[in-house]
Amino acid sequence: MTTIPKSHPRLNSLLIREKLVNGFDNNLVAKEGLLAHGRGEAFDYLIGEKTSKSAKEAIKAAAIMLKNAENSVISVNGNFAALCPKEIIQLAKNTDSKIEVNLFYSTEKRKKAITEILKKSGAKEIFGLNKKSSIKLSGIDSARRIVDKNGIFSADVVLVPLEDGDRTIALKKAKKKIITFDLNPLSRTAQTADITIVDNVIRAMKLLVKESKKSIRGNSKYNNKKNLQVSILEIKKNLERQAKNV
Ligand code: PTJ
Give me the residues paired with residue 101 across strands. Answer: 76
Ligand 1: centre distance to CA 184 (Å)? 10
37 C-beta closer than 6 A to ligand 1: yes
Residue 150 lies in a domain: yes
Report if residue 36 sits inside a domain.
no
Is the residue at 38 inside a domain?
Answer: no
Q: Given a cut of 90, is residue 218 above it in pLDDT?
A: no
CA distance 217 to 173: 26
Cα 204 to Cα 89: distance, rounded to the nearest angstrom: 15
Alpha-carbon gap, residue 132 to 75, rounded angstroms: 19
Q: Is pLDDT of 8 > 90?
A: no
Structurally, the chain folds into a number of domains equal to 1
Q: In whole angstroms, give the CA distance from residue 122 to residue 143.
A: 26
Question: What's the pLDDT at 2?
Answer: 64
Asked, for residue 100, whether it belongs to a domain, the answer is yes
Find the Cα–Cα–Cα–Cα dihedral 212, 213, 217, 220, rounded to 10°.
Answer: -40
Report d(CA 171, CA 160) in Å as an integer: 10
**Residue 121 belongs to some domain of the structure:** yes
Q: Specify the pairing of strand 157-159 against strand 72-76.
A: parallel
The neighbour count for residue 66, using CB atoms within 10 Å, is 25
Give binding residues as ranges. Answer: 17, 39, 182-184, 188-189, 200-201
- Atom 20 in ligand 1: which residue has the minimum CA distance? 162
* pLDDT above 70: residue 127: yes
Q: According to the model, what pLDDT value does residue 69 have? A: 96
> Does ligand 1 have an atom closer than 6 angstroms to the CB of 97?
no
Residue 110 counted as domain residue:
yes
Q: Does 1 score more than 70 pLDDT?
A: no
- CA–CA gap between residue 179 and residue 160 (Å, rounded): 6
Residue 220, pLDDT > 80, answer: no
Range of the domain at 114: 53-237
Name 183's Cβ contacts closer than 8 Å, sequence gap at least 6.
39, 40, 43, 44, 47, 198, 199, 200
Q: Please tell me the distance between residue 166's alpha carbon and the centre of ligand 1 in angstroms.
A: 13
Is there a contact between 191 and 178 (Cβ–Cβ < 8 Å)? no
Helix (H, G, I), strand (E, B) or coil at 194: coil
Residue 135 within any structural domain of the chain: yes
Nearest CA to ligand 1 atom 15: 164
Q: Where are the beta strands (DSSP E) in 109-186?
A: 134-136, 146-148, 157-159, 177-181
Would you state the pLDDT for residue 100?
Answer: 98
> Is 80 inside any structural domain?
yes
CATH number reported for the structural domain that contains residue 185 in this entry: 3.40.50.12640
Q: Which pLDDT score is estimated for 36?
A: 97
Which of 173, 216, 231, 227 is closest to 65 using CA atoms? Answer: 216
pLDDT tens digits for 129-172? 999 999 998 888 888 889 999 999 999 999 999 988 888 999 99
The per-residue pLDDT for range 80-109, each reduced to its tens digit, is 999 999 999 999 999 999 999 999 999 999
Distance CA 3, CA 11 (A): 11
Residue 134 and residue 26: Cα distance in Å, rounded? Answer: 26
